Structure 1
């Protein structure tokens, strides 16, 4: 069974920054595909003529701006989601980690699922906002901006409306985590080398593979969740949802009865085309940011490669390494010996 070793070479703030920047960049680049995917899941008229026609209809009715609806809410959700996820994952993993810092693969998957649910609980209202903004026509808007959407949903539908469909996030988190983690944690066998030696291209392919498998497993939960988020008796055409239902189980039944089982995977084409490069860019951008941080911390010789700095103890944390450098610098200050840079 594969295992993952805790890496302490990045500080918590550096890890947060790397994940946040990578997520913001990847989501913004792939936002048009996300818009088409969500409209297909909700069942608005834009998706009735197929994948390619959806782009044309959105452009004709809403213009280019329509392809980036809800992107701000999606990006804002990244930062608290990342912070909570990292914090929860760190605490859960610490409980299952042995004395030398290793954790079995199945426990890491379980920890990832629980951390994902905890992070989703905090940021779920922003996901509802994203769905509502995307489902509406931005030229005839019911909602204007993130704050206005949150306020209007709360005032007109109540607090529970901001968590409608959350149970599906819980149910879908585990097949997603299992697919993503199981693939990504065993890539060393595929590439026949450890992950820290992966090239940017290998990281891109790795992210695509993990995302494709995990999304295929959890997609029906995602589809029903989006329908529940979008539906509201206070919106025109009930928010554009193609079936009317009462609750999660009834939504599954109505979708299968009226649209067929395969309709649970509506928008999978757009989702695959979106999630594959999104995750690929996410992993690749994260690794590039990580290289910059490791270079600044003194672990590698260049931000363009993972070549380890000679003489540096890679097991030391960033602050410990800085203390060692400071000690050696003070000890050699004023001496005629070789400089600190040459010794390290």
Structure 2
């Protein structure tokens, strides 16, 4: 444990130079020392891994930031808080999402730059044009979050050691698989969102989420609802690697260990991780959006700026006709969206959480975090309710004073 690989490497080098051995004996000694050195490096790496406990909460990426679990909330309350916060933040930042997706697909409105895109969308579609597809995005959020969290926790528990620790790379693998499972479940809603955003809402081909799904299925078949899904598989792991690469180097950025980070530092960390991860996986998402939008049954083939026959051909045609940098079209809108999205997400989550904590009896008001006097904050909501019921049945008295005396 105390001998570092550098110490062992120096010892092996000196020993091999001063030992009067030659031929097969020297080669055997070198092989033995090399194996010992590699074993020492491996053990040192395992010791370092055990010192860092990887969080069991799912990340988002992409979507959704990982929120630290509070045992004072029930599972349903936590899920509803995260879901409502996600819906609210998505709705507020929907105009940026619309501009981003239109830029990725390559529609006419978004070929003149970031600011001109807003003016052209408002001119041709009105204010409603900035919230196209938002319902599909919000409907997708709840099942996506549920499947992602459940799958991630299951995979993490399978790879935990006896001390409850997991390596960073296994956590990356778990996050990638969880994202794939969640995307597979909700992918048709993502296709519907793209089709609704790309069309002109004043001359609509699709009316509503249900009509979009049914029309795509009847006209193009079931596989059209999963067109471009392979790019989700390819983009999931660069996204996860980008997130964890940032988080693994945050202590160098702030010059202090992660457990001392303030809420503001954690917010900045989340924004940095999301920005880096989304930038790395952005070309895959651009091609995916083009594949989702393209259809021979739509006017102008869905508004896509290049014509292609498959995933590989789409990459080739985009690079050939538009240039490599066009794979990052809409990145400005996506980057600007990160800060308000996560800011609203955390703020709304905390407000919903305060309401639930007040309802559960942990705080005195839904507008503040002032703890209720005499209440053990380490108890879960069901345990706290059982304690209240027990005290009432045992005739310790009614009201706040008896409960304070007990706990």
TM-score by length of 1: 0.88
Counterpart of 2:25 in structure 1 is none
Counterpart of 1:312 in structure 2 is 376
Q: Is the 8 A contact 2:374 2:403 kept in 1?
A: no
The offset of 1:286, in angstroms, is: 2.6
2:349 to 286, 295, 304: 286
1:176 to 224, 234, 239: 239
Counterpart of 2:157 in structure 1 is 94
Query: How many Å separate the matches in 2 of 1:292 and 1:186?
Result: 35
Q: Is the 8 A contact 1:5 1:102 kept in 2?
A: no
1:80 to 143, 162, 181: 143
Higher relative contact order (CA 8 A, sep 6+): 1
- SS in structure 1 of the partner of residue 54 of structure 2: strand
Counterpart of 1:16 in structure 2 is 79
Q: Is the 8 A contact 2:238 2:277 kept in 1?
A: yes
Counterpart of 2:53 in structure 1 is 3
Query: How many Å separate the matches in 2 of 1:293 and 1:186?
Result: 35
- CA displacement, residues 275-304 of structure 1 (integer Å, 9 cap, x when unaligned): 332133223433443344345445667663
The offset of 1:106, in angstroms, is: 3.0
Q: Is the 8 A contact 1:117 1:169 kept in 2?
A: yes
- SS in structure 1 of the partner of residue 139 of structure 2: helix
Q: Give yes or no for the alignment of 1:158 onto 2:221.
A: yes
Q: Give yes or no for the alignment of 1:115 onto 2:178.
A: yes
Query: How many Å separate the matches in 2 of 1:296 and 1:191?
Result: 40
1:238–1:338: structure 2 CA closer, same or farther, 3 Å change rule?
closer
1:248 to 285, 302, 311: 311
Counterpart of 2:282 in structure 1 is 219
The offset of 1:104, in angstroms, is: 3.5
Unmatched tracts of structure 2, length 5 or more: 1-48, 57-68
The offset of 1:246, in angstroms, is: 1.1
- CA displacement, residues 56-103 of structure 1 (integer Å, 9 cap, x when unaligned): 110111011100010111111111111211221222222223455444
Counterpart of 1:45 in structure 2 is 108
Query: How many Å separate the matches in 2 of 1:179 and 1:329?
Result: 53
Higher radius of gyration, 1 or 2:
2
Counterpart of 1:210 in structure 2 is 273
Query: How many Å separate the matches in 1 of 2:361 and 2:151?
Result: 28
Q: Is the 8 A contact 1:208 1:277 kept in 2?
A: no
- CA displacement, residues 240-282 of structure 1 (integer Å, 9 cap, x when unaligned): 1011111111111111111111110001001111233213322
Query: How many Å separate the matches in 2 of 1:329 and 1:188?
Result: 49
1:322–1:195: structure 2 CA closer, same or farther, 3 Å change rule?
farther
Q: Is the 8 A contact 1:36 1:267 kept in 2?
A: yes
- SS in structure 1 of the partner of residue 203 of structure 2: coil
Query: How many Å separate the matches in 2 of 1:89 and 1:81?
Result: 12
1:126 to 178, 189, 193: 189
Query: How many Å separate the matches in 2 of 1:68 and 1:177?
Result: 29
Unmatched tracts of structure 1, length 5 or more: none
TM-score by length of 2: 0.75
Q: Which moved more, 1:326-335 or 1:217-226?
A: 326-335
1:327–1:177: structure 2 CA closer, same or farther, 3 Å change rule?
farther
Query: How many Å separate the matches in 2 of 1:146 and 1:334?
Result: 55
Counterpart of 1:26 in structure 2 is 89
The offset of 1:114, in angstroms, is: 1.1
Residues matched between the structures, number:
342
Query: How many Å separate the matches in 2 of 1:104 and 1:313?
Result: 31
Q: Is the 8 A contact 2:374 2:404 kept in 1?
A: no
Q: Which moved more, 1:85-94 or 1:142-151?
A: 85-94
